[in-house]
Structure 1
Amino acid sequence: MNDVNEPRSEHSDRTPRRGDGDVPRRGDRAAGGGRRDNSSYGERRGTRYDGTGAGDPGRRPAARGESAGGRGGAGRGAGQRTGASRAGQGRGDAAVDRRGGSSRGDSRAGGRQGVDRRTAGRPGQDARHAARVDEPTLPEDIEAADLDMEIRRDLRGLDKANAELVARHLVAAMYFVDDDPELALAHGRAAKNRAGRIGVVRETVGVLAYRAREWSEALGELRAARRISGGPGLLAMMADCERGLGRPEKAIELARGDESRQVTGEDLVELRIVEAGARVDMGQLDAALVTLQDAGADPEAVGEEAARLDYAYAEVLLASGRKDEAAAWFGHAVSADPDNHTDAESRLAELEV
């Protein structure tokens, strides 16, 4: 998820991406110069390691006059999804699947009532069609062509009209993800309702649910994506969902389990940051510091990964009551990342007041 917050008309990367990097992470700056205060991986809690409130990071008025009310009744939970017209129109008006979604009684030989198999829906199809009535409206200028080509290839197994609508819902989700995470999630749910067997769609819904702080739904969707696609990706986000659900011990199990041995590079850094946060949740402050030290926290290192580790280390120090040391490590984070990917500079300023 390299920055999904840039204007869609100017950037082709406002589309769902694979892997943990598709959501803002610890200390990420918001678009337009505003800065998020992320307590851990992504925007998991709205509180810092020291327990102080951080408000609602990264939220601004909804774009294009849309609001959270545009969710269209999509409820909480991994199984509740919405959908849109299969006719490929610019609006999300409901339409009945051409295969038919309801059973119809027929007079058969001998007067027995039966089901017309030509119009009978698959199990659960009626519920999916009903959900499509309430799907969020697609803005007219949201185009399927704006979706990442790799993901569009994944949608080729769908019929053309359905693939078009799934693609537009995914693009809309990434368009709204920063301004209105709930509306973005509603679009993701609409895509899943139409293409629930495609791994990247389930992954995207998981990421969107994570951004909307729907921890249980996010965890379920990310697990489903991994069952479909395989691989150790998304482990840090899944562990952070466990933290969000109040299960830090489960987060540590994921961070230290067999699958974690397959995680490398930036993903491993994020996983250790989440693990450190879980240890803070459990009051294991010294263990949290050791976790970040083992991950490579180094005041001399430079680059975005180094800045994230420095930032995390500073927060654990702050939670431990070591304010002066925390300020020093926030300073290291600023020095390590001249492009200011984190909000370490503002955190440092707060401590120096």
Structure 2
Amino acid sequence: MPRSLQPRAGGRPHGTPPKYVDLPPDVLEELRRSTRPTAQRDAIARLARAIELLERGDAGAAVSEAVKAKALSSRSSSVREVLGLALYGQGRFQEALKELKAYRRMSGRNDQNHVIADSLRGVGKPREAVPLADEALRDKKVPNEVKAEAVIVAASALADEGRYAEALAFIGRAKTRDDIAEPYTLRLWYVKGDVLERAGRSREAAAEFRKVVRHDQSAFDAAERLANLS
């Protein structure tokens, strides 16, 4: 979930309609431009509620709210983005693709390319995932965390086809330091270890899992996989 769309901290009493300040100014402005005046308040409330539910991990309820927001504002890229993310969270990849591609087309942004790419993997089209990830990597406006996720998706898609050397080369495009571990850095190391193990390079795979465990012993199943390789 992009931080720019997260509800602000502090919350509000259950049942209280969300206020406009719950959404960032650029999202509010985009909603107002794309929604008829009589539907704006309800559309904003539905979108804010959908985001809140996504943050709680309730993708199903988020889909319900986002669908209602779309009925009020189908031309809003923010609404289509949140609906796509909620559908993705439910594993409804084909439907997520429709919404997230609409978001990408309407907004001109590449910051959800990694989710689109992973959805393509989910519908059995890994080859189409790699160019989208590459596009995100080349976009200077895309945050580093999102670029890392794009690398992970592309590498996984390539590995799905047994193209391990290409997968490892793609992972190499994400620069990391062994002494600094962001959450996405741990994921990069883990995926690299997974690809190396699948490629039969057990010693190198163990080194990657060891880096993960050194920073977080409970991350994924890295400790178990390291033990199996030792």
TM over 0.5: same fold? yes
Evaluate the alpha carbon distance shift between residue 310 and residue 142 of structure 1 in structure 2; reply closer, same or farther with a 3 A threshold: farther
Evaluate the alpha carbon distance shift between residue 169 and residue 318 of structure 1 in structure 2; reply closer, same or farther with a 3 A threshold: farther
Counterpart amino acid of residue 233 in structure 1: D
CA contact (8 A) 1:275 1:291 kept: yes
- Match 1:211 to one of 80, 83, 89: 89
Distance in 1 (CA, whole Å) between partners of 2:132 and 2:220 is 32
Distance in 2 (CA, whole Å) between partners of 1:294 and 1:2 is 22
Distance in 2 (CA, whole Å) between partners of 1:318 and 1:173 is 39
**Secondary structure of the equivalent of 2:173?**
helix
Instruction: Tell me: higher relative CO, structure 1 or 2? Use CA pairs within 8 A at least 6 residues apart.
Output: 1
Aligned residues: 220
State whether structure 2 residue 44 is matched by structure 1 residue 167: yes
- Match 2:166 to one of 287, 296, 300: 287
- 1:349 is matched with 223
- 1:74 is matched with none
Counterpart amino acid of residue 349 in structure 1: A
Q: CA deviation at 1:228?
A: 1.7
- Match 2:151 to one of 258, 272, 277: 272
State whether structure 2 residue 116 is matched by structure 1 residue 241: no
- 1:183 is matched with 61
Root-mean-square deviation (CA, aligned residues, Å) is: 3.2
CA contact (8 A) 1:255 1:275 kept: yes
Structure 1, unmatched stretches of 5+, are 15-138
CA contact (8 A) 1:299 1:310 kept: no
Q: Could you give the per-residue CA deviations for residues 20-46 of structure 1, whole angstroms, max 9, x where no partner exists? A: xxxxxxxxxxxxxxxxxxxxxxxxxxx
Evaluate the alpha carbon distance shift between residue 186 and residue 309 of structure 1 in structure 2; reply closer, same or farther with a 3 A threshold: same
Evaluate the alpha carbon distance shift between residue 216 and residue 292 of structure 1 in structure 2; reply closer, same or farther with a 3 A threshold: same
Q: Could you give the per-residue CA deviations for residues 102-147 of structure 1, whole angstroms, max 9, x where no partner exists? A: xxxxxxxxxxxxxxxxxxxxxxxxxxxxxxxxxxxxx723524463
**Secondary structure of the equivalent of 2:120?**
helix
Counterpart amino acid of residue 266 in structure 1: E
Evaluate the alpha carbon distance shift between residue 344 and residue 219 of structure 1 in structure 2; reply closer, same or farther with a 3 A threshold: farther
Q: CA deviation at 1:262?
A: 2.1
Bigger-Rg structure (1/2): 1
CA contact (8 A) 2:51 2:82 kept: no
CA contact (8 A) 2:210 2:223 kept: no
Counterpart amino acid of residue 23 in structure 2: D
- Match 2:15 to one of 114, 132, 140: 140
Counterpart amino acid of residue 148 in structure 1: L
CA contact (8 A) 2:62 2:83 kept: no
Structure 2, unmatched stretches of 5+, are none
Evaluate the alpha carbon distance shift between residue 149 and residue 233 of structure 1 in structure 2; reply closer, same or farther with a 3 A threshold: closer
Q: CA deviation at 1:191?
A: 0.5
Counterpart amino acid of residue 347 in structure 1: D
CA contact (8 A) 1:239 1:252 kept: yes
Distance in 2 (CA, whole Å) between partners of 1:187 and 1:142 is 13
Distance in 1 (CA, whole Å) between partners of 2:107 and 2:173 is 30
Q: CA deviation at 1:10?
A: 4.8
Q: Could you give the per-residue CA deviations for residues 164-196 of structure 1, whole angstroms, max 9, x where no partner exists? A: 211221222123224431221111111011101
Q: How does 1:1-353 map to 2 (within 5 A)?
A: 1=1, 10-11=9-10, 140-145=15-20, 147-150=22-25, 151-157=27-33, 158-177=35-54, 178-256=56-134, 260-263=137-140, 265-296=144-175, 299-322=178-201, 325-335=204-214, 345-351=219-225, 352=227
Evaluate the alpha carbon distance shift between residue 196 and residue 2 of structure 1 in structure 2; reply closer, same or farther with a 3 A threshold: closer
More helix by share: 2
- 1:101 is matched with none
Q: CA deviation at 1:306?
A: 2.9
